[in-house]
Amino acid sequence: MTAAAFAAVFKSNQMSIQLIESSEIGIVGVGEATLPHIRFFNRRIGLDERELMAKTQATFKLGIEFRDWARLGDSYIHPFGVFGGKMAGVPFHNYWLRQRAQGVDSDIESYSLPIMASRANKFAPPSEDHTSVMSTFGYAFQFDASLYAAYLRGVSEKRGVKRTDGKIVDARLRAEDGWVEAVKLADGSEIAGDFFIDCSGFRGLLIEQALKTGYDEWTKWLPCDRAAAMPCENFGPLTPYTRATAREAGWQWRIPLQHRTGNGYVYSSKFISDDEAASKLVSRVDGKPQADPRFLRFTAGRRKQTWNRNVVAIGLAGGFLEPLESTSIHLIQVAITTLIDYMSERTLSGDGAFDPRIVSAYNRWIEMEYDRVRDFLILHYHATEREDTPLWQYCRHMQIPDSLQHKMELFRRRARVVTYKDGLFLEPSWLAVYFGQRVMPDGYDPLADAVDGAQLAQRMNTVREQIAQAVTQMPTHEEFLAQYCPAEKIAMKAMA
């Protein structure tokens, strides 16, 4: 992603880009669910959506279904779209809360088009007409991350990126200030550079092994530290959403692609063994398994600085929260686009050093992005009534960061969602999780009382009806995929 984006933005007379990767080591390969912002990234680097989807066996994603999080038997969807819409400048949920307080019990889901479409397994792209209910949502992809990486490698090479397949065994640092001058490969050769982007995954080859930058660990709030992943054959309709089901010691993902379904059990090694997690996963997937479970280990957190000297760490080398809410590829995108913006400025001072103000501004930005995502993820674990297993007992009673405590108190007391101009998850996302996980406010914004009761009832009905009608007219997800971006069957045969 980084090489493709840099090659799309900078001309060859501005920089020459070398991509070093090791086919012996390979990529982590999981990371199948994305967020809507990836469409803007793909567009910015000039990718054709239909081609990309066909090449990566992609399906559409309108949100994530969460099962069993607050209580066993619960199900809610975090949609990529709004609930209702603003009325008289007041956020919609206040009207819903007002009606609820007066005994009108309508389901919040019925005010969200992407939720209703997901429940019906329907998909159509959003409309550009802002007066249409079809403009109230966005979408992302569920794709094969290995095919996406291979596709972007091809795109990068066509744009002049020079690729070397080799294993880096060491880094040469400049004696006076510890800047990286070159990386050493297993065959004895060296590749020198002015600026290094460390995308080496959990290893953090340059940022940690060479520069010893340090890591802030968040396991006390995000206790899962392992995953067992396993694909299976598709079973039932292709859902236009990812599913995350809370389990005894973590949660299980289910991501349907055109050629297979990705599954994984993300768990805390304190509360379940690898063998037990793997056997639970195998017994709970929908279709016939296509491989044995593969284990991955991680530590939730982020690098203390993702830009250190002349190295910027992007991807797992920079940090990893955990797979819930599919934020990792998004954080890669944020890092790339932010870095490109900063690099486009006068980053280098006369003597070849980076302007320290740029470096610290970049680091602060990335920290903010990670910290805000972190709080949102912790909310899922903490806002539970479950006490049925030691993991959920721990999560329910754990101390949470002050920043999240503040957000939850404001919502409980005033039905207010802390909003910010930048950052990933905005009001509809927080609302979906608060309501979905039974965090209910004591009241609502009194301004919502300004609308006449009968008029309000009529407007709420209209919103629901417009959504229901729009969903009826949408094709099924499978019908839309078949005409928009059918994937090459070749990949299916290879898997069989």
Ligand X SMILES: Cc1cc2nc3c(=O)[nH]c(=O)nc-3n(C[C@H](O)[C@H](O)[C@H](O)COP(=O)(O)OP(=O)(O)OC[C@H]3O[C@@H](n4cnc5c(N)ncnc54)[C@H](O)[C@@H]3O)c2cc1C
Is-contact 204 305, C-beta < 8 A? no
Site residues for ligand X, window 311-350 (CB under 6 A)? 315-317, 323, 326, 328-329, 332
Judged by beta carbon, residue 113 or residue 185, the one nearer ligand X is: 185
Applying CB under 6 A, the span of 5-13, 80-88, 310-318, 338-346 interacting with ligand X comes to: 310-318
Measured from the CB of residue 326, what is the shortest distance to ligand X in angstroms?
4
Cβ atoms of 95 and 451 closer than 8 Å: yes
Exposed e or buried b per residue across 418-453, where buried means at least 16 C-beta atoms within 10 angstroms of its C-beta = eeeeeebbebbbbbbbbbbbebebeebbeebeebee
Of 288, 281, 287, the residue nearest 237 (C-alpha): 287
Alpha helices (H) along 297-355: 328-344
Does residue 20 bind ligand X (CB under 6 A)?
yes
**Catalytic residue of the set 61, 122, 280, 407:** 61
Strand duo 168-173 + 180-185: pairing:
antiparallel
Whole-angstrom distance, CA of residue 117 vs CA of residue 455: 27
Q: What residues from 214 to 243 belong to the interface with ligand X (CB under 6 A)?
A: 227, 229
Among 5, 9, 21, 247, binds ligand X (CB under 6 A): 21
CB of 23 to ligand X, least distance (A): 7
* Closer residue to ligand X, CB minimum distance, 9 or 335: 335
Site for ligand X contains 168 (CB under 6 A): yes
Among 201, 289, 423, 443, binds ligand X (CB under 6 A): 201
d(CA 59, CA 121): 12
How far lies 244's CA from each of 380, 438, 454, in Å?
A: 11, 17, 39
- Catalytic-residue membership of 61: yes
State in angstroms the smallest separation of the CB of 288 from ligand X: 22
Site string for ligand X, 24-63 (x = CB under 6 A): -xxxx-xxxxx-----------------------------
Distance CA 317, CA 339 (A): 15
**Location of structure tokens 């017994």:** 283
* Residue 265 touches ligand X, criterion: CB under 6 A: no
DSSP string, 144-173: -HHHHHHHHHHHHHHTT-EEEE--EEEEEE
The residue (of 110 and 242) whose beta carbon lies closer to ligand X is: 242
Report if residue 200 touches ligand X, rule: CB under 6 A: yes
Contacting residues toward ligand X, per CB under 6 A:
20-22, 25-28, 30-34, 145, 167-168, 199-201, 203, 205, 227, 229, 264, 296, 298, 315-317, 323, 326, 328-329, 332
Residues labelled catalytic: 61
